């Protein structure tokens, strides 16, 4: 299962910026060696290519596209988001992430499937 998150990218708010990320849900501590091997293969396959985040409004119309890149830790992450872009993410009724290998979708904030990390005050762009 993918996890979707929107928030600060670092603990230090002075050095932190807003980003959107998609990651593979972590394995439980009781995972077997075979499960861990499968997890790493899936992570490399599903999160190994850059793509695009597509924001969709309540009328099911696309209204914004944002590039999403592969990180060294095996996640997909946007670059620094402006205030307007953050608002676009929070206003979207659906968020789709497309790469050459996979399409992930979530119903965004209103449905509770997007984790919004507002606990830390991100630096304002």
pLDDT (tens digit per residue) in 39-65: 888 888 889 999 999 999 999 999 999
Band (pLDDT 50/70/90 cuts) for residue 111 is: very low
Closest CA to 80 of 70, 71, 68, 91: 68
Taking only the tens place, the pLDDT of each residue in 22-46 is: 988 878 778 888 988 888 888 888 8
Residue 98: what pLDDT?
A: 96
The Cα 48–Cα 60 span in angstroms is 28
Answer yes or no: are the C-beta atoms of 77 and 60 closer than 8 Å.
no
pLDDT higher than 50, residue 119: no
pLDDT band at residue 121, thresholds of 50, 70 and 90?
low
pTM greater than 0.75 (yes/no): yes
């Amino acid at each position: 299962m993918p996890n979707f998150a929107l928030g600060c990218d670092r603990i230090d708010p002075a050095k932190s910026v807003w980003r959107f990320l998609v990651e593979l849900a972590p394995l439980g501590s009781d995972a077997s060696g075979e499960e861990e091997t499968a997890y790493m293969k899936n992570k490399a396959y599903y999160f190994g290519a850059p793509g695009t985040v597509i924001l969709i409004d309540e009328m099911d119309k696309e209204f914004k596209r944002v590039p999403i890149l592969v990180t060294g830790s095996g996640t997909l992450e946007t670059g620094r988001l402006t205030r307007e872009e953050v608002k676009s993410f929070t206003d979207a009724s659906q968020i789709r992430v497309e790469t050459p290998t996979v399409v992930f979708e979530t119903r965004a904030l209103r449905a509770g499937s997007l984790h919004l990390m507002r606990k830390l005050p991100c630096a304002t762009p």
